[in-house]
Amino acid sequence: MASDSLLTQLKELDIAELEFNSIGVWPLPVRIIVLVVVFVAVLGAGYYFHISNKKAELDSLRQKEVSLKKTFEGKAFEAANLDAYRAQVTEVEKSFGALLSQLPSDTEVPGLLEDITEIGYGSSLDIQSITLEPEIPSDFYVELPIKIATLGGYHDFGTFVSGIAGLPRIVTLHDYSIVAGEEGRPLLFEITAKTYRYKGEGE
């Protein structure tokens, strides 16, 4: 019966007659509808301005938690393998020291030139010239190119290259050329040898 009365009031209601200033005397069904609409609007605004921000913050914290877990797992793995890492560092330092010993210092370059000359003569080559080129600096080392011109035969050149490769210091060979002379004359063999020295802190 009460619902029938409310429906009857709603049917007889003329919205044009409603004034905001007299909201207190509006029919009960209208006031209930207005309260429901206001309540829903307040809930929606509260969710939009407060809960949605908290949800975004929660999502951000969850992502941060995943990242922190991965970081923790990595640190835990490193801590568990600390002794192995220390052993590897020691081994790398030894290897690095061995490599550095193969890089000549400035004072050892004349000795290297003497070694190249001896290998050339020992290979039955006629050394025409050994010329030091300008140094080429890199991040951790300095490259020292040495241009070599010799006269001899093919087998002599092979013996010479093998001798250079057997030196205790690092020497690489680049840009070779072989030019045939007149018949019966030896071949002209030109090659660039590159050695390296460790770059000091002051350079």
108 and 76 belong to one structural domain? no
Question: What does pLDDT average to over the chain?
Answer: 80
Average pLDDT over residues 63-83: 85
| DSSP strand pairing (126-132 vs 141-152) | antiparallel
Q: Is 14's pLDDT higher than 80?
A: no
Query: Would you say residue 148 lies in a domain?
Result: yes
Residue ranges making up the domain that contains 11: 1-80
**From CA 70, how far away is CA 158, in angstroms rounded?**
56
| DSSP strand pairing (141-152 vs 136-137) | antiparallel
Query: Would you say residue 90 lies in a domain?
Result: no
52 and 13 belong to one structural domain? yes
Q: Is 107's pLDDT higher than 60?
A: no
Q: Is 186's pLDDT higher than 70?
A: yes
What CATH number is given to the structural domain containing 151? 3.30.70.60
pLDDT score, position 118: 93
Query: Would you say residue 118 lies in a domain?
Result: yes
Entry pTM:
0.50
Q: Is 50's pLDDT higher than 90?
A: no
73 and 3 belong to one structural domain? yes
pLDDT score, position 162: 93
Number of domains in the chain: 2
pLDDT score, position 200: 64
pLDDT score, position 150: 93
Query: Would you say residue 182 lies in a domain?
Result: yes
